Structure formats: C-alpha cells, structure tokens
Chains A and B, each alone.
Chain A
Amino acid sequence: MGESVQSGRHWLLVLTGLCLVLGALLGLQVKARVARGDTQMARRTNALVAMVSEARTQIENQRKEIADLRIQLSKYEEEAAAGHGLVKLSEELQNSRAALGLLPMRGPGIELTLDDSAMKADDNGGSSDLFVIHDFDLIGIINELWAAGAEAISLNGQRLVTGSAITCSGRLIQVNKVTIPPPFTFQVIGNQDNLMSALNIRDGALDRLRRLEFVVKLTPKDEVTVPAIAIAPKFRYARPVLEESVP
C-alpha cells in the first residue's frame, strides 16, 4: 500500500513535468495561429509562394535571354547588311527597333526615385490614400517627361513604350502588365536641363509630392541605361497602309 502511494505521487510529478512541456507547445502553437492564421493555410501558402517565386525567376531568366538574343540578332543583321551594301536599310531597321523599345538604350539623363510619404493617415485623421503613390501620380510624371523631350524611359526596369499602360489593381501598380512595388525609380534619357526643370516646375508633379513629404530623389546622371521591353508588340487588328494616298 505504502509503495503504491509512493509511486502514485511519483507518477503525478512525472505527469506534471510532461504537462508543462505540452502546455508550452500548446502556447507556441496558439500564439503562432493567432499571429498568422491556420497551419494548414500556412502549409498551402508556403507551397504557393515557392511556386510563384520559381515561376517568376524563370520568367526573368527568359526575359534576359530574349533581350540577349535580340541584341545578337541586330549585330548579325548589321554585319550581313555591310556585306551586301544594305547599310542604309540596316540603320533604318535599328532606328525602328530603338523607337519600338526593342533595344536597350544608353545616354545622359536623370534618375528619379519616389516612395510613399512618411506621414501617416492617423497623424491628421485623413485618408491614407493621400500618402501613397498612385498610378495617376506616375502617369502625370511620365507625361511631363515625354513633354520635356525624354527619349527613353523605364520605370522599375520596365521600358515605357507606346503601348505601355500604368494601371492600378487594389493597392498594386502594374506597368506593362508587370506588378511593380514601391519605391518607384524612373531612368530617363534626354536633355538633362529640360527634364530637371520640367519636373521641378512650380506646382508641377513633384511639387505636390514634396509638400506631402513623399520621398523624392531627383539626380542628373551622365549615363543612364534603359532596358528593352520584354515582349515585342504584335499587331492583331492594325495593318500598315501601303497605298499612295491616304485620305
């Protein structure tokens, strides 16, 4: 009987120790769950995140490959043209390509970086919409840049061409159908003085952002490189008109 009581007490102590461990684990788990939702969800989310990032790197690699191949093709064409007295034609081809944004460009210009304001909505009770950069802010700046004679512009590595649209879906901004996160960096090739003064004009695009304490960094650069667009535009409806007189 005495031994049974002894072992009973001992068993209780062991149980207490293990319960402590189990309680600690439960605490960890409940805390993690409170912090970020269901564990099943976490498993699935992790798998999806991995898939998306893998697909993204693949796309990025293929983009680079396309760009490299395009440059190579241009070089071959130049060489072939030189051999056949077609230099003029080849030059025109390169110019057209450059105008379409199919070739990376280099030249003097500016770099402009924008980021959301350090001010918060609750600082003055207003809407937080006031302190983040919107698609229309970027569109306004791009318009200003083209008007000031910009020859090539890229936004977060996306070349802006005639078909480039800046859209906003929820809180995300897309350029060339690629989502770009802040900060937003423009690389612009063109006359530096014209570009700088166009952007810094009083009550212009940057003036309003500076007043609301947005991060605005505008620097002239001796050499700016603007990448080519990833996908060449295709004409599915439009056809060139080759007749003599167009009304």
Chain B
Amino acid sequence: MIALPIIALLVGFFAVYWLPALPSVWAGYIAICILAGADALIGGLRARLEKRFDEAVFVTGFFANMLIAALLCYVGDKLDVDLYLAVTVALGIRIFTNLGRIRALLVTAQRRRRSSGAAGPE
C-alpha cells in the first residue's frame, strides 16, 4: 500500500525522462514547482497524522502552490529581483518544519502504542 505513491513517483519520472528535454529557460521554474509540490505533499502527510486532513485542500494546495511559486519567480525575473530565492527559502523552511513535526508525531505515536501494548490486551 505504502509502495503505491513511490511507484507512481518512479513511473512519472521515467515516463518523462524519455521525452525530449525542455528548453533551459524552463528549468528554474520547474525546480521551484518541484519544491512547491514536495512541500504540499509533506504538508498533507502532516495534516493526515494530525487528523485534520482535507482532501480538497490537499489537492488544490498542491497545484496552487506550484502555480503561485512559479508565478512569483516569473514576476521576479521580469522585475529583475531574485524572488526565486525568497520562494526557495520559504518552501525550504516549511518542508523542514513539517518533516520535524511528522517525525515528532511518529515518535509519540510509536511510544503510545508500545506503552499501551505493555499495559496488556484490552
């Protein structure tokens, strides 16, 4: 079950890898999109562990995050301001905090399970 998203990730990767390469102008935007997408996925995982997951929020967030991040970079390019740095830093920090939060949640969940196991069967 857990393997399904990972398989999808690999399938997506290799499906595109055989296609012709995009012009290098796009490379910066796609990098930002990847960061935004990863942030949305990790945010979704955290929300699920915290039991406040909302599917609509998750899916719209995934695409909207990407769009907004790319848009911000585009505006930055047009204005000659390195806005992509701001986006990178903001998303990077969020990914870090979310991952830290997920780790904490998993550790506490594990501990609770073990202590309840030690208490004996219900």
Contact = CB atoms under 8 A, between A and B. Distances in A.
Interface of A: 10-33, 35-36, 39, 42-43, 46
B91 interface: no
Interface residues of B, number: 38
Given A19-B8, A20-B8, A23-B12, A42 B59 contact: no
Given A14-B55, A22-B38, A27 B22 contact: no
Contact of B11 (A14, A20, A36): A20
A23 B7 CA distance: 10
| Interface of A, helix, strand, loop or mixed by DSSP | helix
B4 A16 contact: yes
Interface in B27-74: 27-28, 30-31, 33-34, 37-38, 40-41, 44, 48, 53, 55, 58-59, 62
Contacts, number: 108
Interface of B: 1, 4-17, 19, 21-22, 24-28, 30-31, 33-34, 37-38, 40-41, 44, 48, 53, 55, 58-59, 62
B13 A18 contact: no
A13 B14 CA distance: 20
13 contacts: A11-B48, A11-B55, A13-B4, A15-B41, A18-B40, A22-B34, A23-B10, A25-B33, A28-B26, A30-B13, A32-B26, A35-B21, A42-B28
